[in-house]
Amino acid sequence: MNYIRIFLITTVLFISCKSDKNPINSDSQTPTVEIISPANQEVVSEIVAIQCHIVSAYKISKVRIKVDDEFLQQTLTEEPFQFNWNSLNYPDSSFHIIKAIVEDINRNEGISDSIIVMVDNSSASPNSTKIISANINDLNIEVIWNKAQEDDFFSYTVEQSTDSTFIQKTIIYNTYDKNDTSVVLLDIFPIIPHFFSIVVTDSVGLKSFSDVFESEVAQEPEGLNITDVTYNFDNMSVAWEKTSLKTFSSYNLLYSISQSGLKDTIAIINESSNTSYVLNDFDPTRENWFWICVEDRWKRQATGQGMSNQIDPFPESVNINSILYNNSKFILNWEKNNDDDFISYQLLESDNINMENPDVVFTSGDQMSTSTTLSGITYEEERYYQMQVVDYWEQISTGGTKKGSALYKIAYVANQNGTDQIYWMNEDGSEQERIVKSSTVFKGSPIWSPDLTRIYYQMGTSDINLYSITTDFISNKQLTHMTGWSRDLVTTSTGDYLVFRNNKSLYKMNMEGDELTQLTEENGLILWPDISPDNQQVVWAVQDDGWHIKIMSLDGSNKRLLTSNSGWDARIPKFSNDDQLVYYWARNQERGVLSDIFSVDMNENEVNITNHDELLGYTDYFDISPSGKYIVYDLIRPDESEIILLDLHNGMKMRLSASPSDRDHQPKFSNDGLWIFFTSGHSGSIDIYKVNLEGTIIHQLTNDSNDNYLPSPQPIFIN
């Protein structure tokens, strides 16, 4: 609470005393004197000038003034007889009797008539000034006050106390310069309140006191919060809020390995504008807690909320998508790791599913590389693999275990509750796995790219288009966007180009579905294109005035008719392995069935290579062995179907099916030519089987409620 003390400002009333200089001739005559100012009954204040007049006197010795019963200390011996009486020593509203006493040299004394005056000094003191501020300036306090307005200003006095009652006070500064309205108090302790008052003194000693003013107290430090803890490969950066503390001394950066752990000071920052710190030695795989302790110049401290870094997670684990066996090698494909702090892939290999005592058989620092080939794999051997990811901080994550079977894969279609799905499995029927995740009802005709990186298939509803899925399952892509039905896809042996038919035309495109080129324009239906092993020519069947085989260059030039067998419908052309012949099925129109397989050379010389009337029937599929020695086909009759193996060297035919009533279809040679895969309805639903060339060993590869068909064995890729 501020207290006010009021002191009156003194004004001086100046009144002259004088003599009329009328001398007394007798030295025994009493001198006379009168008071001419102030007037009787006048109200006086401050310093009152009393003027007296010598009426008559003989050689005056002295003149004195008596107020009430006391003489003023002032005695005058010559004119002007003027006296100053300080009325400030008397209470307001008090009455006082004033007399003048004159004495001559003969000690004759005369007394004036008395006058009565009333003292009133209620408005005599000078006006008080006002303290504007008492703020901390560096380590000091600067007191600033308003300039005094008094004309008779004499001095400023600055009083200071540490007690708000201002009982115990000290004069700390005095100045006689009216324009000097501030003082800086050095080495004061501003962490406690200080109280100040300004005393204004006028020329007659009257004083006024300002209100007691409480100084600014040095703000106590407030805890600041850590705002961010980030890191990169080189350093960890800590940031915090900026202080507004005027008496700031330092930021003390505290550190602990846990939120409740012992805190150590790891840095002292003396610049208030510097609100971050960088550590070069750090471990982001654990918590690193930081706090900022703000300290002022009197060692007072405050600590805010701490923060830890986000613990660097273990690297994103990746799984091995697929392991393909090919030519004594495993081709492994895995998911890509997307971590910014990736360092390497490490492929682990073990001979048991528990991954006991694994060996690191492959390491790569290329994050984009997601495949490798391992050599020295024995046919039918089994090994187990895991992919580890190592990050910059030497953390390791391990993906799931993947079995590698040294068996070739077979892609096929499985119809599940009316919806076709693309699957693959090992050639012994193990590890059956759905590889196309789509709910589209129709999917069909999976075929492999020669380099084993893709499987092509058909999919659609009203319009059927061509798609590809990579064998690492990363990319599933639509290759064509056409109306109608795109089907009968074949590839060049290099995999550079694809040829397929859509409606009444053949088209060519690259493996990405780009560079689409129309190769033919036919009036009739076309089916079954095939590409020569040297990738130079294309054959296909076309229906105009019957079914004929045509041939052209891969770029669509040099089109010509290859068959002219009158009375026969030629279908399903396939090149021989040496590019010299084209095999096809042909039906005698008079007999009404496809009964024979023909060959035709590039000079249009046609040969009936089966010519067995007892096998009357038709076929919808046949395949040529990798050696070129055999043709296998399905022979379909009204009530039965079976698989027939034809030896092209001697023309011998062999039934490979267990029974001609098994509805056997779609025969396909294995990549090594030792087995033939086909579909059969022997078990009720349609399943995939394989049989050796002698027909003595038959294995059922699928055995479920699905209809499984169109087996597509993996080719052998020489790399």
Tokens read off for 181: 């309205």
* Tokens, residue 489: 């896809």
- Whether residue 381 contacts residue 397, with contact meaning beta carbons closer than 8 Å, is answered with no
**Rounded CA gap, 330 and 374, in Å?**
5
Which pair of tokens denotes residue 141?
């306090």
pLDDT value at position 660? Answer: 63
pLDDT at 560 over 80: yes
Is residue 531 within 8 Å of 579, Cβ to Cβ? no
**Confidence check: pLDDT of 548 > 60:** yes
Token duo for residue 714: 């993996």
- 707's CB contacts (< 8 A; 6+ apart) are 414, 415, 685, 686
Strands 12-13 and 47-56: parallel
Q: d(Cα 116, Cα 132) in Å, to the nearest integer?
A: 45
CA distance 287 to 309: 6
The string of pLDDT tens digits covering residues 251-307 is 999 999 999 999 999 999 999 999 999 999 999 999 999 999 999 988 999 999 999
Rounded to a whole number, what is the distance in angstroms from the first to the last CA of the chain?
97
pLDDT at 18: 43
Listed range (180-184, 344-348, 354-358, 543-547) with the worst mean pLDDT: 543-547
Strands 248-256 and 289-296: antiparallel
- Cβ–Cβ < 8 Å for 455, 491: no
CATH architecture of 226-308: Sandwich (2.60)
Dihedral Cα 503, 505, 511, 517, nearest 10 deg: -130
Q: Let me know: does 597 contact 633? Beta carbons within 8 Å.
A: yes
54-87: burial string, b at 16+ Cβ within 10 Å, e else: bbbbbebbebbbbbeeeebeeebeebebbbbbeb
Q: What is the pLDDT of residue 133?
A: 93
Pairing mode, if any, of strands 43-44 and 115-119? parallel
Locate tokens 């060993």: which residue?
697
Instruction: Give the model's confidence band at 619: pLDDT under 50 very low, under 70 low, under 90 confident, else very high.
Output: confident
Place of tokens 């056409």: 482
Other beta carbons within 10 Å of 463: 13
User: How many Å separate Cα 676 from the centre of its chain?
Assistant: 56
Dihedral of alpha carbons 699, 700, 701, 707, sign: positive
pLDDT digits (tens, 9 = 90+) for 410-432: 999 999 888 999 999 999 999 99
Q: Which residues pair with 57 in a beta bridge?
A: 23
d(CA 449, CA 491): 7
User: What is the phi/psi pair of residue 615, to 5°?
Assistant: -105, 35
Classified by CATH at the fold level, domain 12-119 comes out as Immunoglobulin-like (2.60.40)
Is a pLDDT exceeding 70 seen at residue 592? no
DSSP state of 311: P
Question: Quick one: pLDDT band at residue 14, thresholds 50, 70, 90?
Answer: very low
The answer for residues whose C-beta is within 8 angstroms of residue 88's C-beta and 6 or more apart is: 8, 10, 46, 47, 121, 124, 204, 206
My answer on whether omega of the bond before 80 falls inside 30° of 0, hence cis, is yes
Say which residue, 662 or 83, is predicted with more confidence: 83
Q: Would you say residue 240 has pLDDT above 90?
A: yes
- Please give the pLDDT value at position 15: 35
The answer to whether 713 touches 719, Cβ cutoff 8 Å, is: no
- Could you tell me the pLDDT band of residue 1, with boundaries at 50, 70 and 90? very low
- Cα-Cα-Cα-Cα torsion 241, 245, 247, 251, nearest 10 degrees, comes to -10
Chain segment 293-305, per-residue pLDDT in tens: 999 988 999 999 9
8 A C-beta contact, residue 486 and residue 467:
no
Residue in this structure with the two tokens 């391990």, named with its chain if needed: 398
Could you identify the residue written with the tokens 């000290």?
Answer: 170
CATH numeric code, 519-618:
2.120.10.30
Instruction: Quote the pLDDT of residue 47.
Output: 86
Strand, helix or coil at 281?
coil
How far CA 77 is from CA of 57, 61, 583, in Å, comes to 13, 6, 163
pLDDT of residue 615: 53
Per-residue confidence (pLDDT) for residue 194, from 0 to 100: 93
Mean pLDDT of 322-342: 94
H/E run at residue 685: strand 685-692
Please check the confidence at residue 9 and state whether its pLDDT lies above 50.
no
- Tell me the average pLDDT across 82-91: 89
* pLDDT for 7 beyond 50: no
Q: Let me know if 718 is exposed, middle or buried by CB neighbors in 10 A (0-12, 13-18, 19+).
A: exposed
pLDDT at residue 124 is higher than 90: no
Q: Mean of the pLDDT values across residues 201-221?
A: 89
- The span from the CA of 649 to the CA of 35, in Å, is 170
248 phi, psi to nearest 5 deg: -60, 140
pLDDT in the model for residue 23: 53
Tell me the one-letter amino acid at 693: L
The full length of the chain comes to 719
Residue 21: pLDDT band (50, 70, 90) is very low
Q: Quick one: DSSP state of residue 525?
A: -
CATH class of 131-214: mainly beta
Q: What is the DSSP string of 628-689?
A: SSEEEEEEEETTEEEEEEEETTT--EEE-SS-TTS--EEEEE-TTSSEEEEEEEEESEEEEE
pLDDT at 524: 80
Q: What was the pLDDT predicted at 11? A: 35
C-alpha distances in Å from residue 401, one per residue of 353, 431, 470: 7, 14, 21
The tokens describing 67, both together, are: 């107020």
